């Protein structure tokens, strides 16, 4: 093992303290979950809630894929605007439900209502959170296309957290070839 790697491992806790100078935020008390003193304008939480999107041109159609982990198809709205030149994906993520506290019944056994909820999750004792899609939040993402599309033939499918849109291009009937003299 190199000495640089060993030093990095030993200083890793120091680097983490510099990233979170005031420790973890007061989760459950209404304070925002900030991981740094100054927000990152490129990789901050607001930008993280915009789904990652890939657009591929495939002959006479575009294929748009958006990462929507944990989003149900009923929570997604897709609109086409600007004369068929833009696609907007809007939706919401579902919130995690906290498991209720165990209640002592007096006979030495503890009961908990809602055993199907995530056991062990209590907002007041959460040490850290790095999952950006946890909790309820709204998201929106607009994709601009270079050519108008046929709105009536767009197909959308949400499977395994990936939204796939098959977007056929609109035939450009206004294009006329001009002969050169």
Contacts of 114 (CB under 8 A, 6+ apart): 97, 99, 100
Task: Express each pLDDT in 63-88 by its tens digit.
Answer: 999 999 889 999 999 999 998 999 99
Task: Express each pLDDT in 100-149 by its tens digit.
Answer: 444 445 554 444 444 444 444 555 677 776 665 556 788 899 999 999 99
CATH numbers and ranges of domains, the chain: 1-48 (no CATH), 50-100+134-170 (2.60.40.790)
Which pLDDT score is estimated for 20?
Answer: 58
Sheet holding 155-159, edge to edge: 53-58, 61-67, 162-168, 155-159
Percent of the chain with pLDDT over 70: 55
Percent of the chain with pLDDT over 90: 35
Can you read off the two tokens belonging to residue 76? 């997604």
Q: Tell me the C-alpha distance between 131 and 113, whole Å.
A: 26
How big, in percent rounded to 5, are the helix, strand and coil portions of the chain?
Answer: 20, 30, 50
Q: Evaluate whether 64 touches 53 at the Cβ level (below 8 Å).
A: yes
How far lies 55's CA from each of 11, 15, 48, 52, 68, in Å? 41, 37, 19, 10, 15
């Amino acid at each position: 093992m190199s000495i640089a790697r060993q030093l990095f491992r030993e200083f890793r806790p120091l680097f983490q303290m510099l990233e979170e100078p005031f420790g973890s935020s007061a989760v459950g008390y209404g304070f925002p979950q900030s991981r740094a003193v100054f927000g990152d304008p490129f990789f901050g939480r607001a930008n993280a809630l915009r789904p990652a999107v890939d657009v591929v041109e495939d002959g006479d159609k575009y294929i748009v894929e958006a990462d929507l982990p944990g989003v149900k198809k009923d929570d997604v709205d897709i609109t086409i605007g600007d004369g068929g030149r833009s696609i907007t994906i809007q939706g919401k993520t579902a919130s995690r439900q906290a498991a209720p506290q165990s209640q002592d019944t007096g006979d030495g056994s503890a009961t908990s209502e809602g055993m199907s909820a995530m056991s062990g999750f209590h907002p007041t004792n959460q040490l850290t959170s790095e999952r950006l899609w946890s909790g309820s939040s709204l998201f929106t993402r607009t994709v601009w296309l270079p050519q108008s599309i046929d709105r009536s033939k767009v197909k959308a499918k949400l499977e395994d957290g990936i939204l796939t849109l098959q977007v056929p291009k609109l035939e450009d009937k206004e294009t006329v070839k001009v002969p050169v003299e």
